[in-house]
């Protein structure tokens, strides 16, 4: 016996990761349906060693299905999530549509799994914004010890947070800069993202902040406690996957940096990599495909009485979206539905990622299309771009062995040859505007 599970948005960045994570964590799936828009009906997506053919969300009948993991845009969510919920299928939604609805629980299982009982009011559970999810995993155990008053956070958010079109735009712009045959104008992002950073994510609000920044504050209040004040600056950076955050925390009580490090070390879902030497910290490249939220650079802030600084990095497609949604489904199974997984482990510590996610590699490979059907390699050779710079495998195991003293906790990271991202720009002969 297992659950009848729907994944809506199965052709997107988050939807594909949901399918991977359901399979990786052996969620008890009895039957599964992969849905997308009509334009991609019939597209094949992977679910473990099976291939699923996507169906049209618009005509799908949710009656008899247990859980629907939604990873589609807000407008489509507004149209289809109530339909699924009304048919008796519990929706776990990745969009922002229901996050601030008082009748919908907003859940990060390591932090506030208990509020899951509130799902029944609308049959909908909301997943937080990617930047919020990883931050609250780090804040909660520190808040429990020393009560957080205020958080000042600056984010460095990857382009995959803007969906598959965001990844395409970074790749196409990068190619256009190396190979300036034709101009590539920004479409998804408001300015050039390749070799640049953009201090603007989502719409501007009346007070000059952006909605992404507002979301971080509002969601942290809903998930941890309304008394925490958060001020954020959210920045898009030319990284494919992995959001980073520089977090400054002011507490009510003094919290020593060593104690904070130990608290975080013990906390569920967190891996601390914090050595004060070259490379003794995490970067987004190293967190791709991992389940954990990584914390580095923990240090006292001596400019205030009770302050700490830290650096927080996680795979935004995983903890920031798909993994958190699957953890919610696990919690729902264990605590409420109890169908086929009565002893399901809730919030097991995410210290044991099996491998760098093949799915992310697949996403990147799928995103890379070279002109006239040439392979990316042939295209690059033709452009005389130094292969050493562009095609070197990322040395995951050696990097992680150096970074993580307990290498046993990262047992099987495979070397990953990814479609490479240029590390050095050649002289730009043409500028993108």
Ligand X SMILES: NC(=O)c1ccc[n+]([C@@H]2O[C@H](COP(=O)([O-])OP(=O)(O)OC[C@H]3O[C@@H](n4cnc5c(N)ncnc54)[C@H](OP(=O)(O)O)[C@@H]3O)[C@@H](O)[C@H]2O)c1
Handedness of CA 249, 252, 258, 259 (dihedral sign): negative
Contacts of 379 (CB under 8 A, 6+ apart): 370, 371
The minimum distance between CB 55 and ligand X, in angstroms, equals: 10
Q: Structure tokens of 328?
A: 């919610």
Question: With contact defined as beta carbons under 8 Å apart, do 107 and 115 qualify?
Answer: yes
Report the residue from 316, 327, 353, 359 that binds ligand X according to the rule CB under 6 A.
Answer: 316
Measured at CB, which residue is nearest to ligand X? 12
How far is C-alpha 297 from the geometric centre of its chain's CA atoms? 21
- CA distances to 36, 114, 124, 345 from 105, in Å: 25, 10, 8, 20
CB of 104 to ligand X, least distance (A): 15
Cα-based distances in Å from 353 to 17, 39, 318, 412: 14, 34, 11, 8
Tokens 């490979």 sit on residue? 365
What x/- string results for residues 62 through 91 when contact with ligand X is judged by CB under 6 A? ---------xxxx-x---------------
Rg (CA), the chain: 21
Kindly tell me which residue out of 109, 242, 284, 320 binds ligand X, with binding defined by CB under 6 A.
Answer: 320
Per CB under 6 A, 14 contacts ligand X: yes
Shortest reach from residue 268's CB to ligand X, in Å = 20
Q: Closest CB to ligand X among 130 and 247? A: 130
Q: Residue 307 or residue 320: which is nearer to ligand X going by CB?
A: 320
Among 89, 234, 243, 287, the one annotated catalytic: 243
Whether residue 291 lies in the annotated active site: no
Residue with tokens 């070799």: 195
Q: Which of these is catalytic: 89, 130, 287, 341? A: 130
Q: Which stretch binds ligand X (CB under 6 A): 22-30, 160-168, 301-309, 336-344?
A: 160-168
Among 163, 180, 349, 419, binds ligand X (CB under 6 A): 163
Is 265 tagged catalytic? no
CB of 220 to ligand X, least distance (A): 15
Active site residues: 130, 243
């Amino acid at each position: 016996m297992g659950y009848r599970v729907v994944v809506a948005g199965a052709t997107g960045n988050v939807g594909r990761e949901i399918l991977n994570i359901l399979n990786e964590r052996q969620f008890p799936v009895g039957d599964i349906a992969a849905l997308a828009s009509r334009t991609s009906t019939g597209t094949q997506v992977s679910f473990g060693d099976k291939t699923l053919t996507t169906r049209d969300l618009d005509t799908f009948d949710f009656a008899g299905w247990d859980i629907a993991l939604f990873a589609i845009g807000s407008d489509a969510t507004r149209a289809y999530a109530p339909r699924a919920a009304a048919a008796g299928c519990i929706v776990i939604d990745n969009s922002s549509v229901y996050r601030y609805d008082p009748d919908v629980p907003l859940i990060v299982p390591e932090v506030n799994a208990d509020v899951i009982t509130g799902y029944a009011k609308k049959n909908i559970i909301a997943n937080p914004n990617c930047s919020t999810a990883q931050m609250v995993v780090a804040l909660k155990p520190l808040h429990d010890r020393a009560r957080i008053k205020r958080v000042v956070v600056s984010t460095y958010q990857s382009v995959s947070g803007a969906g598959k079109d965001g990844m395409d735009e970074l790749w196409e712009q990068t190619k256009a800069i190396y190979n300036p045959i034709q101009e590539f104008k920004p479409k998804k992002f408001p300015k050039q993202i390749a070799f640049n950073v953009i201090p603007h994510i989502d719409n501007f609000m009346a007070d000059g902040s952006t909605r992404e920044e507002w979301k971080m504050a509002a969601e942290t209040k809903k998930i941890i406690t309304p008394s925490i004040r958060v001020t954020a600056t959210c920045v898009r950076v030319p990284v494919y996957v992995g959001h980073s955050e520089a977090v400054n925390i002011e507490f009510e009580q003094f919290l020593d940096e060593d104690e904070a490090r130990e608290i975080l070390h013990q906390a569920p879902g967190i891996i601390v990599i914090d050595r004060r030497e070259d490379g003794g910290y995490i970067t987004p490249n190293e967190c791709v495909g991992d389940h954990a939220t990584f914390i580095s650079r923990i240090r006292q802030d001596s400019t205030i009485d009770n302050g700490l600084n830290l650096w927080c990095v996680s795979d935004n497609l995983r903890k920031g979206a798909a993994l958190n949604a699957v953890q919610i489904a696990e919690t729902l199974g264990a605590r409420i539905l109890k169908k086929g997984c009565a002893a399901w482990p809730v919030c097991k510590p995410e210290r044991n990622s099996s491998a760098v996610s093949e799915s992310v590699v697949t996403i990147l490979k799928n995103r890379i299309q070279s002109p006239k059907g040439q392979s990316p390699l042939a295209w690059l050779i033709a452009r005389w771009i130094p292969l050493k710079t562009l095609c070197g495998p990322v040395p995951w195991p050696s990097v992680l062995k150096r970074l993580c003293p307990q290498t046993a906790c990262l047992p099987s990271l495979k070397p990953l040859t990814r479609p490479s991202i240029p590390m050095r720009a050649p002289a730009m002969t043409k500028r993108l505007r």
